[in-house]
Amino acid sequence: MTIDQVVAASSTPSAAFTATRQFVQDSLAARENPDDAIERWLGSGAAKRHVASPALSALMLAFLWQRLHRAGVWKPVGDIYIPDSVQLRKIRLVADRYKTIAGDDYAYQFALGALAILRRDFSVAARHFASAAKGSPDRSLGGQIWAGAVTYRNPWEITAALLAESEPERSPAPHATSYGEVRSEAISLLMSCDKLYFDRFARPLLASLETAGFTGNLFLATVDGDGFDHGEIESLGFAAVEHGYSLTMMDYPAAGALVSGFALMVRFAAARAALDLGARYVLVTDIDSIVTAEALAIAEADRIDSTATLSLTFNRFGRTAFPWTTIGGGGSAFRDNDTSRLFLRCVSNYAAELNSPVPHRYWLDQTALWAAHEIVRTARPGERFGNLLGFRNAVSAHILDTDIVEFKAAVHDR
């Protein structure tokens, strides 16, 4: 697909994102850089003929994402990478050129927000992302990654709230039903779900654990469990014991909260509860996971790494330009120590800060993890955080299957 074909196919914002994604995929398959092509197009004057087309903003966002993910934009400093200032200035020049064509729209604001994050100017980023979130016209899957802007707050402006005692700490322990004994030193996997996610993903998850030879502890945090099929839960519990691992169900009432958002975030409250129940290593992941022997081996290597205080899924390169993609939500491991508990407190409090003014959107968990990391890394500078990127990649290979994508889109939009 060419850029001209993208423009022709962009009758709506959703169609523009879909066509742009295909253009990017075709370019990469041909070993071409789609961001270079978009930059040339914006500079050629051709874009000025399509000011009213939704393709313009979709292509600008594609340029931003692809350019930030090119390794040449980053340079190694020790064991980390930082963005090259010359490359960032080039991105700003392209963004300003885009502004002269399309105006000060949401795509331009996203670009400025990303550049501010890379400068660690979080207050400026907050203004740009807030503006971008208001102007973004599309919440389809094609534009979903940009919906994360609505979940962003500058953590340094709400630090006191993040460090205060959290609601999960003040509340009674959740009702827990255990099948088998929790083995403290073994890996504990923890997921959370509402009934829709439980019915769709619980059995495939448990089947994958059995195939992988899992012998640790599985914690499932459910939301409004009275509506669940308790015969099904009991059947899964007996099967878990038969296959050599324990299953603990912990139920949390939604209490009027939007269920999809509450179910996403309650797993971090449940991680604290799992530590209180005796687990020493709690790996929080997604219930829509297929856990392989490879993934378990990565988790076990992380569990026995005595130098790590806790472990997160740190992404690299351009994803760090957006708080909601910097740290992945599919792999966070907490140990029985004060730093892990402080981190979990910050995550729960960040979600609480957004609960009233902002209903659930995609990426809330990942933005909360990023904010907690900013605060805790500063509060505990001498401690090392491990990286579970390998685990997340090993369990997430199937989550872009078409049926799963469509199911999740329907659930989150309900």
> How far, in Å, CA of 114 to CA of 60, rounded?
13
Q: What's the confidence (pLDDT) of residue 358? A: 46
Task: Give residue-wise pLDDT tens across range 27-41.
Answer: 999 999 999 999 999
CATH for 160-412, among 3.40.630, 3.30.420, 1.10.3470, 3.90.550? 3.90.550
Whole-model pTM: value is 0.91
> How far, in Å, CA of 171 to CA of 380, rounded?
26
> How far, in Å, CA of 271 to CA of 284, rounded?
7
Q: What's the confidence (pLDDT) of residue 137? A: 65
Q: Are strands 74-77 and 80-83 parallel, antiparallel or unpaired?
A: antiparallel
Residue-level pLDDT, tens digit, the chain, 414 residues: 999 999 999 998 889 999 999 999 999 999 999 999 999 999 998 999 999 899 999 999 999 999 999 878 898 887 678 888 899 999 999 999 999 999 999 999 999 999 999 999 999 999 999 999 887 765 554 557 888 888 999 999 999 999 999 988 988 888 899 999 999 999 999 999 888 888 889 889 999 999 999 999 999 999 887 788 888 899 999 999 999 999 999 998 877 666 666 777 889 999 999 999 999 999 999 998 889 999 999 999 999 988 999 999 999 888 899 999 999 988 999 999 999 999 999 999 998 887 654 444 678 899 999 999 999 999 999 899 999 999 998 887 655 455 666 666 666 555
Cα–Cα distance list, 133 to 106, 108, 129, 270 (Å) = 7, 12, 6, 30
Q: Are strands 246-252 and 217-223 parallel, antiparallel or unpaired?
A: parallel
> Both tokens of residue 162?
């993040």
Q: Are strands 384-387 and 281-284 parallel, antiparallel or unpaired?
A: unpaired
How far is residue 88 CA from its own chain's centroid?
Answer: 24
Q: What's the confidence (pLDDT) of residue 262? A: 75
Q: What's the confidence (pLDDT) of residue 407? A: 65
Q: What is the three-class DSSP state of 307?
A: coil
Give the position of tokens 């940009």: 146
> How far, in Å, CA of 159 to CA of 304, rounded?
32
Where do the domains of the chain lie?
A: 3-139, 160-412
Task: Give residue-wise pLDDT tens across range 221-248.
Answer: 998 877 888 888 999 999 999 999 999 9
